[in-house]
Amino acid sequence: QVQLVESGGGLVQAGGSLRLSCAASGRTFSSYAMAWFRQAPGKERESVAVISSWSGGNTYYADSVKGRFTISRDNAKNTVYLQMNSLKPEDTAVYYCAAVRAAGRLYSDWKKYDYWGPGTQVTVSS
């Protein structure tokens, strides 16, 4: 069982930056692939970024965030991060952290994930 809690959301102007954190419970954090998803009002949940288990050597980014967002993990702290730069109003959404046991795999489909945090709101003003 893994429990996830996101933090770091808030209100920021367009062009600004935020760093989201997701703290995980449990002693097997490193064995989970971790991901960030987001959901805006009236829209489907979409993948933002994924990082592979263990060393996190493999990553995936949605086209809409490539070059602006960076996902990383610190296994010693049981934490995954999402650094968001050059934020745009269309990045406004609730951001969720998710985990799945997936050695070497990167899943962008939210239905593949077993554990979810409650979400954190990110609002980007124009």
Does residue 1 register a pLDDT over 90? no
pLDDT digits (tens, 9 = 90+) for 37-62: 999 999 999 999 999 998 888 999 99
pLDDT digits (tens, 9 = 90+) for 84-107: 999 999 999 999 999 999 877 899
Please give the average per-residue pLDDT across 99-120, as a whole number: 92
Q: What is the pLDDT of residue 105?
A: 81
Asked if 26 and 46 count as a contact pair (C-beta separation under 8 A), the reply is: no
**Any idea which residue has 């979409």 for tokens?**
46
- What is the rounded average pLDDT for all residues in the chain? 95
pLDDT band at 113 (very low <50, low <70, confident <90, very high): very high
Integer Cα distance of 41 and 83 in angstroms: 22
